Amino acid sequence: MAQTLAEKIIAKAAGVGSVKPGEIVTCKVDLAMMHDSAGPRMAGRKLDELGVPIWDLDKLVVITDHYINDDNPEHQGVQKHAHEWIKSHGIKHFINEQGICHIVLPEGGHVKPGMFIVGGDSHSVTGGAFGTFMVGIGATEMTGVLATGEIWVRVPETVKIDVTGTLKPGVAAKDVILKLCGDHGIMGFNYQALEYAGTAVSAMSVEERMTLANMAAELGAKAGYCVPDEKTDAILTKWGATDVDIATWQSDEDANFVKTVTIDGDALVPQVAAPSSPENAAPIDAHAGTKLDQAYLGACTGAKLDDLRMAAKVLKGRKIQSGFKFMISPSSLSMQEEARADGTLQIIEDAGGVILPMGCSGCIGIGPSRLEENAVGISSTNRNFVGRAGPKSSKLFLASPYTVAASAIKGAIADPREFL
């Protein structure tokens, strides 16, 4: 029976030869990831109330990234509890304040094609960029996984997202995903798996594919993924993964996709999502010139090494608008160090950008990048819901790193193609 990659991974995890959409199966989890926000203080406490041990310490990774680099006493209490829980339970794989969980998990060599992975965060779907089936689950579901190593799944239909042609300079994966959000809405692919494909996706770096997979969550999808290729093998090997198998984990040529959605990469222009939803996306001309108070490069979606380099291409030799706030929080410590070594961060700082510590910070309205009352900002993050990045009176636009950097130069929403 021909299968999509998502169906193959689910079938393997369920111990059966094949599955079809709509079936409910029980799957063995290859890896579980928790972070400080919903991990030890929520799922961990529920597990302790049950009085049962963690099913397999080799298959659990705990990461601190949400409530870090912050002097808020409540947030410091979250960190204290997390560290105590990790120590008392003998957690083997603890990544402490090295960056955002969806980035440092694969960076730590924990992710490989064909794995069935769960994460305690909606953007855990980022792992699909590496040819996995990775889904976000809540604290109650995570408690069940911690206790049993299993979880039930209703097999999703798979939609192929075919991005044709070649993306033009100044257009990035973020523009592809915002175009999808604008065309289909934030529940446009409810409980479906999205397979990103096409010449434009093949040409993307794996970091760019991570942006596509990450924001499958904004489309209501169960998972978003790219079939693995030589680029996948290369980056995972660089990050320490062993026995990476890209040949096995491919969709069959005659696999059944419920539908195909095509995006013309040749014609795609920079996109901007207006407050207060990613589905308010439109071509940049709809918002060009809108005055801003600050710009932010950050989060799992918008401050990876490739993202920082995009911004640097726009900013090189230029200065941001006088008095304008432009803050950057790299996605991981290792990416920050690489961007420092190759001169990327120097270009951003010379332009007037301020480098902040890693962490979720501005994406979730924590720290100096939090929007102020009535402020208007633009960000490379994945969500701009009311009250997420600042008080309810604030407003946030979403865009690619190219567009965020161009907007910092003008102090207003600007087309990055003008600077490239």
* Angstrom distances, CA of residue 209 to CA of 53, 65, 176, 375: 36, 22, 10, 31
For residue 14, pLDDT over 90 is answered with yes
Out of 264, 292, 320, a domain closes at: 264
Amino acid symbol at 10: I
Residues 294 and 155 in one domain: no
Confidence (pTM):
0.97
Interval 189-227: pLDDT, tens: 999 999 999 999 999 999 999 999 999 999 999 999 999
Structure tokens at 337: 């160090």
Q: Tell me, what DSSP letter sits at residue 92? A: S
How far apart, in whole angstroms, are the C-alpha atoms of residue 393 and residue 410? 23
Helix (H) and strand (E) counts in the chain: 14, 18
Amino acid symbol at 17: G
Residues 233 and 118 in one domain: yes
Interval 71-95: pLDDT, tens: 889 989 999 999 999 999 999 999 9
Structure tokens at 416: 């990055």
Residues 208 and 296 in one domain: no
Out of 249, 264, 279, a domain closes at: 264
How far from the centroid of its chain's Cα atoms is residue 86's Cα? 25
Instruction: State the residue for tokens 């701009």.
Output: 384
Structure tokens at 257: 């996709």
Residues 284 and 238 in one domain: no
Residues 210 and 81 in one domain: yes
How far apart, in whole angstroms, are the C-alpha atoms of residue 413 and residue 405? 10
Residues 162 and 303 in one domain: no
* Angstrom distances, CA of residue 143 to CA of 44, 119, 147, 257, 336: 7, 12, 6, 33, 33
How far apart, in whole angstroms, are the C-alpha atoms of residue 42 and residue 23? 30
Out of 223, 242, 264, a domain closes at: 264
How far from the centroid of its chain's Cα atoms is residue 122's Cα? 9
Residues 116 and 247 in one domain: yes
Structural domain harbouring 105: 5-264
Domain count, the chain: 2
Residues 230 and 179 in one domain: yes
- Residue 361, pLDDT score: 85
Residues 46 and 189 in one domain: yes
pLDDT band of residue 70 (cuts 50, 70, 90) is confident
**Of 74 and 110, the one with more pLDDT:** 110
Residues 260 and 289 in one domain: no
Residues 113 and 159 in one domain: yes
Interval 284-342: pLDDT, tens: 999 999 999 999 999 999 999 999 999 999 999 999 999 999 999 999 999 999 999 99
The CATH number linked to 166 is 3.30.499.10
Interval 126-144: pLDDT, tens: 999 999 999 999 999 999 9
Spatial CA neighbour of 132 closest among 59, 196, 33, 224: 224
pLDDT band of residue 28 (cuts 50, 70, 90) is very high
How far apart, in whole angstroms, are the C-alpha atoms of residue 238 and residue 326? 31
Q: Are strands 150-154 and 24-28 parallel, antiparallel or unpaired?
A: antiparallel
Residues 209 and 291 in one domain: no
